[in-house]
Amino acid sequence: MSKSTDLGLAEQQPQPLGGASVWAVIRAEAIALAAREPILQQLLAVQITNAAGNKEIIAHVLAARLSVTQVAAGDLFDLILSMLDDDIMRKIEADLVAVRERDPACTTCLHALLNLKGFHALQTHRIAHALWNAGRPEIASWLANLASLVFGPDIHPAARIGASIMLDHGSGIVIGETAVIEDEVSILQNVTLGGTGKETGDRHPKIRHGVMIGAGAKILGNIEIGAFSKIAAGSVVLKPVPEHCTVAGVPATLVRVHRADEIPAETMDQNI
């Protein structure tokens, strides 16, 4: 994949799986699963195989997961669908590919789409972020809070998140208002991208391209984590991290410099 540090897809397209589009693969996987597990036939038909298009698939899946309040699932579906533009769809496809390729427990794209709460939380954030940017902060904040209650991650709707992102497990992840996460980043459970004290303004971390953040790591303040670096599990990072480095400890210190071609977010190697 490209090593551009631009947010979004940086003109890269999600890679086809075996020559087929992500959504064609998901539809085929859904048909096969429905044949194996009849109890899921109606759910898969409504959410995937009978959906009018790809945008309708993701809208059905998210609306079904989020319909735990007095807001009707149909209204949630309409809200989500209304915000799903081509840019968000490209990012969703890249996220599906990222999870399928990086998570050994994820054996199909359909599994990621239906069952992984980190993926669900991230896509709901994309909708909330679009609402925030459209000048609708109240509904954006409501949706972000609902996603946190249902899925676990607490992501401020103003946070800027690129494509090809994996929130592994998702539980306990906190991403603050002015945080920036560029493309091709992997974040494990219980990670905090937070501020420090009562500081206002631009106060959250900037995570550059290709970074992997290990479980339980805390990155605090308006600091930059350089491209293709690794934050070891349990670390507390209070200072900027150079590119192509591993840091570990409390507070985190430099422990290793990587090869130039190493992409921690893809290799998911937890060793330091």
Q: How many CA atoms lie within 13 A of 213 on its CB side?
A: 37
Would you list the domain boundaries of the chain? 1-152, 185-272
Fold for 185-272, please state it: UDP N-Acetylglucosamine Acyltransferase; domain 1 (2.160.10)
Q: How many CB atoms lie within 10 A of CB 218?
A: 21
- For tokens 């993701």, what's the residue? 58
Q: How many CB atoms lie within 10 A of CB 182?
A: 25
Determine the pLDDT at residue 7. 54
Determine the pLDDT at residue 94. 96
Chain-centroid distance of CA 140 in Å reads 17
Identify which of 209, 257, 218, 213 has the alpha carbon closest to the alpha carbon of residue 231. 213
Structure tokens of 176? 């603050």
pLDDT of the chain, 272 residues: tens digit per residue: 333 334 544 444 444 555 569 999 999 999 999 999 888 999 999 999 999 999 999 999 999 888 877 688 899 999 999 999 999 999 999 999 999 999 999 999 999 999 999 999 999 999 999 999 999 999 999 999 999 999 999 999 999 999 999 999 999 999 999 999 999 999 999 999 999 888 889 999 999 999 999 999 999 999 999 999 999 999 999 999 999 999 999 999 999 998 888 899 898 988 87
Determine the pLDDT at residue 271. 82
Determine the pLDDT at residue 30. 95
Strands of the sheet with 154-155, listed across from one edge: 154-155, 174-175, 192-194, 218-220, 236-237
Structure tokens of 42? 């109606």
Fold match between domain 1-152 and domain 185-272: no
Residues 6+ apart with CB under 8 A from 272: 230, 232, 246, 248, 255, 256
Alpha helices in the chain (DSSP H): 22-36, 41-44, 54-66, 73-83, 86-102, 109-115, 117-133, 137-151, 264-267
Gap between the Cα atoms of 18 and 157, Å rounded: 35
Fold for 1-152, please state it: serine acetyltransferase, domain 1 (1.10.3130)
What pTM value is reported for the model?
A: 0.84
Asked if the bond preceding 157 is cis, omega within 30° of 0, the reply is no
